[in-house]
Structure 1
Amino acid sequence: MGTSGIWSQLGSLMASVMFVYAMYEQFFPHHLRIYLKKYTKKFSSLMYPYIQITFPEFSGERLKRSEAYTAIKTYLSANSSQRAKRLKAEVVKDSQNPIVLTMDDNEEIIDEFQGVKVWWSANYKMPSSQTISWYPSSDEKRFLTLTVHKRHRDLITSSYIQHVLDEGKAITVQNRTLKLYTNNPGSDWYGYKRTKWSHVNFEHPSRFETLAMDPKKKEEIINDLVKFQTGKEYYAKVGKAWKRGYLLYGPPGTGKSSMIAAMANFMNYDVYDLELTAVKENTELKKLLIETSSKSIIVIEDIDCSLDLTGQRKKEKKKDEDEDEEKPKNPSKKSEEEEKKASKVTLSGLLNFIDGIWSACGGERVIIFTTNYVEKLDPALIRRGRMDKHIEMSYCGYEAFKVLAKNYLDVESHSLFPTIEKLLGETNMAPADVAESLMPKSIVEDSESCLKNLIESIEEAKKKAEEEAKKKAKEDEEVAVTKEEEVKANGKSAEGVKENGTIH
């Protein structure tokens, strides 16, 4: 039989099928057709050994994209799309990889989980022209379809889907651009929505590798962070909220802010810089906490200067009231406005913020306080359970200097190192001052010149510290002499009174 014969038979067959279908549509009652279609599907499902699970792009709230769809798409893009033949490029905001390749429409890829093969396909459906669409940018209804053999139903529904969702969310977090947030004044309005936090991209370059600190201490902090980040099940087991508090204390310039940035970059967490003086009251503090996301670091820098939280506020208020009683009662308009603007956040409110019931809203949060004077803080504020780990940011030691020398000069050893080690052991110098001395001031300045500059700076700091110590010792001696003279004078006065028998 020739080609023409095959085509003629195929045409006759198609015509016969169309004729039968037309007769079926015309003479079979509507309810009978529905009945027949229903059982035809049941019969085909018995013969077809695969099941299909559909994940629509929009579900529930029609204007909100499905989180499951987004997570699955991210997972497939990172793990399986390299095997797809047709890809689609998309621009993703707030991501380290702005252009993401995903499989194109009607494309299919294969994934494997515990030895079981599954098939993913990207599909779309155009609604009828009569349908009113609620979808924001297009009338197309997109969805991802998972196909798997029905004997693996339990494995796929109980383990694989959750695995895909978790992996997709983890990839999204890993690739996102970190944000630095700050709280807005409570009365501000931005557009139609009141916003508690505003943000910029967090691009601080500090890393633990570049942090000037003793390596053992640095390793201890890193291990503690890793234990916290991977401790979700442990925290649930012991009945604690998944959060951890760190107190960074030490003199100015010892790297407290750099430590916070290094923590954020290491853990891939956003940073919320909380300005307590801009918070009106305890209720607003709770609202700020609720609007922070998980996987974040909440920072209150210079906690001892932010607000008076040590019980001294009442004493100062009483003192001010006593002074006001002596002065004419004529309060100015300016003082009234200042009183309205003053924060009413209390120590109790801050303690509830740290480890109260509201602190358990959301998980995987780190709370950090910084201070230059840890002795000024209320013990209740920094006890274990609130500030779980206290980290002293001390003056620059020799090990920290070697890190700075490697960072700034790319030098790991030098003949001047022993001299610097000896001087740093005798003098208190902040890492920030050491780093400034090591930084080349011109393009022709070499590493040896920078090291000599550092030696000069340390010697000057040592000389200045000695002079201040002598000055203080002299002042203390003068005060002691004055007190001794006052005691002698008071003693002679008391003896004179006793001899005369007179009481004044």
Structure 2
Amino acid sequence: MPQTWTQLGSFMASVMFISAMFTRLFPPALQAHLKMYTKKFFSLVYPYIRITFHEFTGERLMKSEAYTSIKIYLSEHSSQRATKLKGEVVKVKDTSTPLILSMDDNEEIIEEFQGVKVWWGSYKITPRTNTFSWYPFSDEKRYYKLTFHKRYRTLITESYLKHLFEEAKAIEIKNRQLKLYTNNKTRWSHVVFEHPATFDTLAMKPKMKEDIINDLVRFKSGKDYYAKVGKAWKRGYLLYGPPGTGKSTMIAAMANFMNYDVYDLELTAVKDNSDLRKLLINTSSKAIIVIEDIDCSLDLTGQRKKKTEKVKGKEKSSTKRGDEDDDDDVGSKVTLSGLLNVVDGIWSACGGERIMIFTTNFVEKLDPALIRRGRMDKHIELTYCCYETFKVLAKNYLNVESHHLFSRIEKLLEETKMTPADVAENLMPKSLDEEVESNLHSLIQALEISKEDAEKKKAETERKESNVQESKASDKLGEGMEENGIIN
């Protein structure tokens, strides 16, 4: 053994000496030619072809679909052969195996396809420098490498890879779990989406609910139609109405019905329009992109100019006392035009089968350009609880479809305004032994109190208006008497 290590050390020292002499004695042009001919020589001797599939494409703006498909395929087929594995617990319906295993970094496996061996390797490159990079993505570069004999080139590139992508798609559908994403600058992070809302439990008028379901079904099956008319395969929904009318619950029901991931886009966390585009590009197809309370997210109207001037004034004054807190003053620079480009511009066509949803409590505050038809294709007003909505809630919370108190509740709902959230809170049993009738009486009492409060508020408003009118009339009379010289 000592003799072997001595010979190996002598060989390595000889190689390093020859390499140093080659670099020093031969000019760069000759070195390039020699390297080129060396590669050609080894290509004749080395009979294998290697294909690399990188995680990101287009200067790392978009995640490679090929890489994702390979990852899914190998996670299903590599767990029995790889010695280094990564484990991830997932919650998938109708499965008793919540643990998904996949190849770890820098691991290799051998697979056989129609009697031909192929080698798969999973690799990660971590740069030694620039640890704290400003770049929004991690500096780590991951990729898969496929190696096979060159005599099987046609079989692998035409048959094997096609088989791989088709099987990966089937595996993805089988193991699919919905995700809820949130953004931090230009990166998405996610948790499992487990909201139980469905259209069956959604408190809404049946006719309106049926109309929304039909619209979603048409969209999901409309890929060829959108291509025919020359439009990006996307659809916009504007949900508006008072707080507590079920806007967020409807989004969850839509996600469960369509089996789409949800991307909760927080505009205040986005630095500028460029970062907004990067976020959009990194959303998958079959996704619902949500901007809740868009009227409160950012100032996207003409008031932005005043806000910008105010920020500039702060910047000027800060030069006298120092430069601290500058970043907090500037905030997000996302503009209305940048948001419109994402919603309905060229960048909106980066990916297909996406739904964009805006929610607001005050639709009149939004810029008309933002919610016009074509951008927000369908406007859905969610209003206060009506009798039809109440019956859905009674079925959900109390499991009753009729009761002698329903007629009293129907009349009160016509006379007062109460949100579905407030109605549901009054219907929810406070204990397991509580009877249905006591819950309905609780709702009736809440409705009567709400009706009395509304009548008092109305009377107070009328009294104030009457006082204002009397005051105006008195002032007008006084002015008239003064003009006529009655009052000196």
Pairwise TM-score range, normalised by the shorter structure: 0.5 to 0.7
Deviates more, 1:399-408 or 1:478-487: 478-487
Give the distance between the partners of 2:301 and 2:484, measured in 1 at CA: 45
Q: Describe the shift of the 1:223–1:492 C-alpha distance in structure 2 as closer, same or farther (beyond 3 A).
A: same
| Structure 2 residue aligned with 1:286 | 277
Question: Is the Cα contact below 8 Å between 1:92 and 1:98 reproduced in 2?
Answer: no
Q: Report the Cα offset of residue 449 of structure 1.
A: 0.8
Match of 1:256 among 247, 252, 255: 247
Match of 2:328 among 301, 324, 338: 338
| Structure 1 residue aligned with 2:184 | 184
Give the distance between the partners of 1:208 and 1:298, measured in 2 at CA: 19
| Structure 2 residue aligned with 1:424 | 413
Q: Describe the shift of the 1:207–1:272 C-alpha distance in structure 2 as closer, same or farther (beyond 3 A).
A: same
Give the distance between the partners of 1:222 and 1:243, measured in 2 at CA: 16
Q: Which amino acid aligns with 1:307?
A: L
| Structure 2 residue aligned with 1:228 | 219
Q: Describe the shift of the 1:489–1:262 C-alpha distance in structure 2 as closer, same or farther (beyond 3 A).
A: same
Q: Describe the shift of the 1:286–1:72 C-alpha distance in structure 2 as closer, same or farther (beyond 3 A).
A: closer
The superposition leaves residues 206-261 of structure 1 with CA deviations (integer Å, 9 ceiling, x where unpaired) of 11111000011001000000110110000000000000000000000000000000
Deviates more, 1:306-315 or 1:358-367: 306-315
3-state SS, counterpart of residue 200 of structure 2: helix
The superposition leaves residues 406-465 of structure 1 with CA deviations (integer Å, 9 ceiling, x where unpaired) of 111111111111111111111111000000000001122111111111111111111111
Q: Describe the shift of the 1:222–1:351 C-alpha distance in structure 2 as closer, same or farther (beyond 3 A).
A: same
| Structure 2 residue aligned with 1:242 | 233
Q: Which amino acid aligns with 1:339?
A: D
3-state SS, counterpart of residue 391 of structure 1: strand
Say whether 1:351 aligns with 2:340.
yes
Give the distance between the partners of 1:329 and 1:168, measured in 2 at CA: 58
| Structure 1 residue aligned with 2:430 | 441
Q: Report the Cα offset of residue 489 of structure 1.
A: 3.9
The superposition leaves residues 370-427 of structure 1 with CA deviations (integer Å, 9 ceiling, x where unpaired) of 0001111111110000000000111111111111111111111111111111111111
Q: Which amino acid aligns with 1:305?
A: C
Give the distance between the partners of 1:222 and 1:404, measured in 2 at CA: 19
3-state SS, counterpart of residue 447 of structure 2: helix
Q: Which amino acid aligns with 2:358?
A: F
Give the distance between the partners of 2:475 and 2:174, measured in 1 at CA: 70
Question: Is the Cα contact below 8 Å between 1:242 and 1:364 reproduced in 2?
Answer: yes
1:452-463 equivalent positions in 2, closer than 5 A:
452-463=441-452
- Given the two structures, how large is their TM-score scaled by the length of structure 1? 0.66
Say whether 1:393 aligns with 2:370.
no
Question: Is the Cα contact below 8 Å between 2:240 and 2:382 reproduced in 1?
Answer: yes
* Number of residues of Structure 1 aligned to a counterpart in Structure 2: 382
Question: Is the Cα contact below 8 Å between 2:70 and 2:168 reproduced in 1?
Answer: no
Q: Describe the shift of the 1:172–1:316 C-alpha distance in structure 2 as closer, same or farther (beyond 3 A).
A: closer
| Structure 1 residue aligned with 2:97 | 99
3-state SS, counterpart of residue 454 of structure 2: helix
Match of 2:457 among 468, 473, 492: 468
Q: Which amino acid aligns with 1:407?
A: N
Q: Describe the shift of the 1:183–1:214 C-alpha distance in structure 2 as closer, same or farther (beyond 3 A).
A: same
Q: Describe the shift of the 1:135–1:312 C-alpha distance in structure 2 as closer, same or farther (beyond 3 A).
A: closer
Match of 1:197 among 184, 188, 207: 188
Q: Which amino acid aligns with 1:177?
A: Q
Q: Describe the shift of the 1:319–1:135 C-alpha distance in structure 2 as closer, same or farther (beyond 3 A).
A: closer
Deviates more, 1:295-304 or 1:330-339: 330-339
Match of 1:362 among 313, 335, 351: 351
Q: Which amino acid aligns with 2:374?
A: G
Q: Report the Cα offset of residue 493 of structure 1.
A: 5.0
| Structure 1 residue aligned with 2:32 | none
Q: Which amino acid aligns with 2:292?
A: E
| Structure 1 residue aligned with 2:53 | 61
Q: Which amino acid aligns with 1:178?
A: L
| Structure 2 residue aligned with 1:214 | 205
Q: Report the Cα offset of residue 74 of structure 1.
A: 11
Identity score, percent: 58
Q: Which amino acid aligns with 2:365?
A: K
Q: Report the Cα offset of residue 278 of structure 1.
A: 1.0
The alignment's C-alpha RMSD in Å is: 4.2
Question: Is the Cα contact below 8 Å between 2:54 and 2:67 reproduced in 1?
Answer: no
Give the distance between the partners of 1:231 and 1:169, measured in 2 at CA: 20
The superposition leaves residues 118-145 of structure 1 with CA deviations (integer Å, 9 ceiling, x where unpaired) of xx97878498xxxxx84569xxx999xx
Say whether 1:375 aligns with 2:369.
no
Q: Describe the shift of the 1:361–1:337 C-alpha distance in structure 2 as closer, same or farther (beyond 3 A).
A: closer
Q: Which amino acid aligns with 2:227?
A: A
The superposition leaves residues 331-390 of structure 1 with CA deviations (integer Å, 9 ceiling, x where unpaired) of 6866644323x1111111111110010010001110000000111111111000000000
The superposition leaves residues 58-106 of structure 1 with CA deviations (integer Å, 9 ceiling, x where unpaired) of 9543899876677889999xxxxxxxxxxxxx988646136399xxxxx
Match of 1:272 among 263, 270, 274: 263
Q: Describe the shift of the 1:453–1:368 C-alpha distance in structure 2 as closer, same or farther (beyond 3 A).
A: same
- Given the two structures, how large is their TM-score scaled by the length of structure 2? 0.68
Deviates more, 1:265-274 or 1:309-318: 309-318
The superposition leaves residues 6-26 of structure 1 with CA deviations (integer Å, 9 ceiling, x where unpaired) of xxxxxxxxxxxxxxxxxxxxx
3-state SS, counterpart of residue 237 of structure 2: strand
3-state SS, counterpart of residue 99 of structure 1: coil
Give the distance between the partners of 2:71 and 2:339, measured in 1 at CA: 37
Match of 1:297 among 288, 296, 300: 288
The superposition leaves residues 39-73 of structure 1 with CA deviations (integer Å, 9 ceiling, x where unpaired) of xxxxxxxxxxxxxxxxx9x9543899876677889
3-state SS, counterpart of residue 392 of structure 2: helix
Question: Is the Cα contact below 8 Å between 1:123 and 1:142 reproduced in 2?
Answer: no
| Structure 2 residue aligned with 1:11 | none
Q: Describe the shift of the 1:284–1:491 C-alpha distance in structure 2 as closer, same or farther (beyond 3 A).
A: farther
Q: Report the Cα offset of residue 163 of structure 1.
A: 10
Q: Describe the shift of the 1:220–1:75 C-alpha distance in structure 2 as closer, same or farther (beyond 3 A).
A: farther
3-state SS, counterpart of residue 385 of structure 2: coil
Q: Which amino acid aligns with 2:176?
A: R
Give the distance between the partners of 1:218 and 1:136, measured in 2 at CA: 49
Give the distance between the partners of 1:489 and 1:323, measured in 2 at CA: 48
Say whether 1:482 aligns with 2:471.
yes
Give the distance between the partners of 1:75 and 1:320, measured in 2 at CA: 54
Q: Describe the shift of the 1:142–1:393 C-alpha distance in structure 2 as closer, same or farther (beyond 3 A).
A: farther
